[in-house]
């Protein structure tokens, strides 16, 4: 479906980005596969690159059960992590330098983990990457009280976006891009991509604060604990501690 006249202009060309990893710890886990692509206004992928990466550590069985990538695969066919991270950062940097917004579902996870990988391998980092579009943050902001899961699979189904191979970096990246376009068609999102980026920074902070209160109330967090709502890149823990002093 071609973008309607009243939809934001950025819908016509969006980058997409997704990682599959060894786990969910953005500071210590590693990239296993990555995908960076470019969609047109109809959600067709115009260009793409997928990486299989040797993370340099064992992939836990639980992670393999999710994304299907084994240690044998990455050791045999994977790119060395330092080379892959350099190429991933370069591909994203090229899109952002052209003012192409990059869509990532739960962007603070993917961009934070990539940032730590760049630090780990001495690769030039993406400094303050923008403009970024995060369908998870936007969906929560515009449909705050909807019950049910907010996984990419659930949200894609909500907006009639096909996702047939969840937890494949390519499939997830493209689906996230199409969900962002669907959100732009359903809700009145800012036409200015810079305005949208700035609003997401505030929305993510507010959403983390609200979730923190809920987790404290049900006993999943101690009263002095807080979820980090920094978006789209969370600072390293030591840097965060320095900022609090």
158 inside domain? yes
In this structure, what are the phi and psi dihedrals at residue 15, rounded to the nearest 5 degrees? -80, 160
CATH number for the domain that contains residue 49: 3.30.420.10
How much helix, strand and coil, in percent to the nearest 5, is found in the chain?
50, 15, 40
Cα(95)–Cα(22) distance, integer angstroms: 26
128 inside domain? yes
Cα(168)–Cα(174) distance, integer angstroms: 10
201 inside domain? no
245 inside domain? no
Nearest of 75, 36, 35 to residue 55 by alpha carbon: 75
The side-by-side arrangement of strands in the sheet containing 31-40 is 79-80, 45-54, 31-40, 13-21, 102-103, 132-133
* Preceding amide of 131 cis, omega within 30: yes
Predicted confidence pLDDT, tens digits, the chain (245 residues) = 444 557 999 999 999 999 999 999 999 999 999 999 999 999 999 999 999 999 999 999 999 999 999 999 999 999 999 999 999 999 999 999 999 999 999 999 999 999 999 999 999 999 999 999 999 999 999 999 999 999 999 999 999 999 999 999 999 999 999 999 999 999 999 999 999 999 999 999 999 999 999 999 999 999 999 999 999 999 998 665 444 43
Cα(245)–Cα(242) distance, integer angstroms: 5
238 inside domain? no
- Number of domains the chain is built from: 1
19 inside domain? yes
Q: What is the pLDDT of residue 237?
A: 81
Are the beta carbons of 163 and 171 closer than 8 angstroms?
Answer: yes
234 inside domain? no
Q: What is the pLDDT of residue 58?
A: 98
Q: What is the pLDDT of residue 6?
A: 75
DSSP assigned state of 129: -
2 inside domain? no
Per the structure, the complete domain to which residue 75 belongs is given by 11-192
Q: What sections of 98-151 are H helices per DSSP?
A: 107-121, 135-142
Tokens linked to 136 = 């998870």
Q: What is the pLDDT of residue 1?
A: 47
Give residues with Cβ within 8 angstroms of 211, minimum separation 6. Answer: 227
In this structure, how many other beta carbons lie within 10 angstroms of the beta carbon of residue 5? 4
């Amino acid at each position: 479906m071609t973008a309607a006249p009243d939809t934001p202009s950025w819908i016509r060309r969006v980058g997409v980005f997704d990682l599959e990893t060894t786990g969910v710890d953005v500071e210590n886990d590693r990239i296993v596969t990555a995908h960076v692509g470019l969609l047109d206004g109809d959600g067709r992928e115009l260009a793409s690159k997928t990486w299989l990466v040797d993370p340099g550590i064992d992939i836990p069985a639980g992670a393999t059960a999710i994304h299907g990538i084994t240690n044998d695969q990455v050791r045999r066919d994977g790119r060395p992590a330092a080379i892959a991270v350099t190429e991933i950062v370069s591909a994203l940097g090229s899109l952002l330098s052209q003012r192409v917004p990059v869509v990532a579902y739960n962007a603070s996870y993917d961009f934070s983990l990539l940032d730590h990988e760049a630090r780990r391998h001495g690769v030039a980092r993406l400094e303050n990457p923008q403009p970024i579009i995060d369908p998870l943050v936007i969906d929560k902001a515009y449909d705050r009280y909807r019950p049910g899961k907010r996984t990419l699979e659930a949200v894609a189904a909500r907006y009639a976006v096909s996702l047939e191979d969840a937890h494949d970096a390519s499939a997830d990246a493209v689906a996230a891009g199409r969900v962002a376009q669907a959100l732009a068609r359903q809700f009145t999102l800012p036409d200015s991509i810079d305005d949208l980026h700035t609003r997401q920074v505030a929305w993510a902070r507010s959403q983390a604060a609200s979730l923190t209160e809920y987790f404290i109330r049900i006993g999943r967090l101690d009263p002095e604990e807080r979820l980090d709502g920094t978006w789209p890149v969370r600072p390293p823990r030591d840097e965060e501690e320095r900022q609090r002093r």
